Amino acid sequence: MQHGKYRFIVGFLALPVGLYALFVVWPFIQSIYYSFTDWTGLSPEFKMVGFDNYERMLDDDIFWKSLQHSLLLALLLPLVTIGFALFLAFMINVGGRRRKGGPVVIGVRGSSFYKIVYFFPQVLSIAIVALLFAFAYNPDSGAINSVLRGIGLDSVQPLWLGDPNLALWAVMAVIVWSTVGFFVVLFSAGMASIPADLYEAALLDGAGRATTFFRVTLPLLWDTVQSGWVYMGILALGAESFAVVHIMTTGPGGPDYSTTVMVLYVYQKAFRDGQAAYATTIGVALLIVTLAFAAVVMRLGRRERLEF
């Protein structure tokens, strides 16, 4: 199979690699370079300024706020989303009532129905989801406060997105709402591949549901949980949180920068304030946080691989 092999390889790779290098790799390399300049992005002229941008960043209160919010999102969102999804997936797949003579471990009735419904938000654009919830959170006429009034809680009418103490939590709830279903389906698929014999053996040994979950299900699912954790963390640091914060919170960035996250701050510095070089500096910080996050999860999550 040697004849014309290299011509073929080059012919097939040129276009995809070329596009990828031009629009993805090259801008990445450039952005690190630009972070050492005073480029505004508006004019083609710029000069090297060394570490000035980095020094400025360390003195920037808003940067620290956005870093804090991003870290909170990266730590809390995977914890809540994956924890809740594991719980739901376990309920769906193992929570069924055992009929006499039937298999020991069965899913609840309608398990496939639940999986279909829970997955709904995943196919919707996060931008559309964010818009929808921005209406629901509206303090005067939104659906949520109107429910609170309906059940007699007239005194509890939070401003939600307008309250600096609540805005970030309100935004996080939306991300959880839209991503839990994906993980329920993912973990369900993982649980379905665990042999029923293992559950049977555990139940025979007198293990309760909780013990079964922590001793059988979770260890065997660990690889999936871990990759889900990294995936969710990257979402929370990047695209997902950008759309939600950009669309939902006033400013945008929330009252008193209460919801500003790093990716939003990069966007604002570059495209609103005309400080392209400084924006790429914050972008480099975001890259470091993302890589550190992935490394920590991989490191902490490393344990003996279980074969089954």
Partner 1 sequence: MKTTETTAPVPAESGRPVTKAGVPDEMPSREKKEGTVLNVFSHGILVIWAFMVVMPLLWAVMTSFKDDSSIFGSPWSLPDELHFSNWSRAWTEANMSDYFLNTILVVGGSLIGTLVLGSMAAYVLARFEFPGNRFIYFLFIGGMSFPIMLALVPLFYVVNNMGLLNTIHGLILVYIAYSLPFTVFFLTAFFRTLPTSVAEAAFVDGASHSRTFFQIMLPMAKPGLISVGIFNFLGQWNQYMLPTVLNTDPDKRVLTQGLVQLAVSQGYKGDWSGLFAGLVMAMLPVLAAYVVFQRQVVQGLTAGALK
Q: Which of residues 206-265 bind partner 1 (CB under 8 A)?
A: 206, 208-209, 224, 227-228, 231, 234, 237-239, 242-243, 246-247, 263
Considering the complex, what minimum distance in angstroms separates the CB of residue 2 from partner 1?
A: 11
**Nearer to partner 1 (CB atom), residue 168 or residue 243:** 243
Cβ proximity to partner 1: between 125 and 165 the closer is 125
Among 108, 148, 194, 296, binds partner 1 (CB under 8 A): 108
CA separation for the pair 173, 176 (Å, rounded)? 5
**Residue 156 binds partner 1, judged by CB under 8 A:** no
Please count the residues of this chain forming the interface with partner 1, following the rule CB under 8 A.
112
Coil, helix or strand at residue 48:
strand
Contacts of 219 (CB under 8 A, 6+ apart): 306
Long-range contacts of 165-173 (CB under 8 A, 24+ apart): 165/258, 167/249, 167/254, 167/255, 167/258, 167/259, 168/69, 168/72, 168/254, 168/258, 168/259, 170/137, 170/248, 171/241, 171/244, 171/245, 171/248, 171/249, 171/259, 172/73, 172/76, 172/77, 172/80
Report how far residue 133's alpha carbon sits from residue 173's, in angstroms, rounded to the nearest whole number: 10
- What is the nearest approach in angstroms of partner 1 to the Cβ of residue 257? 18
Residues 47-86 that bind partner 1 (CB under 8 A): none
In the complex, minimum distance from the CB of residue 95 to partner 1, in angstroms, rounded to a whole number: 4
Looking at residues 31 to 50 of the shown chain, list those that interact with partner 1 (rule: CB under 8 A): 31, 34, 41
CA dihedral 55, 60, 65, 66 (to 10 degrees): -70
Q: Build a one-symbol-per-residue string for 111-130: x at contacts with partner 1 by CB under 8 A, - elsewhere.
A: ---xxxxxxxxxxxxxxx--
Decide whether 166 or 245 has the Cβ nearer to partner 1. 245
| 267 binding partner 1? (CB under 8 A) | yes
Neighbours of 53 (CB within 10 A): 22
Position among 79, 153, 291, 298 found at the interface with partner 1 (CB under 8 A)? 291
Shortest distance in whole angstroms from residue 168 CB to partner 1 = 19
Peptide bond into 252 cis (omega under 30): yes
Exactly one of 69, 253, 280, 297 binds partner 1 (CB under 8 A); that residue is: 280
Name the residue nearer to partner 1 (CB basis): 168 or 279.
Answer: 279
CB of 15 to partner 1, least distance (A): 6
Q: Report the DSSP beta bridge partners of residue 37.
A: 48
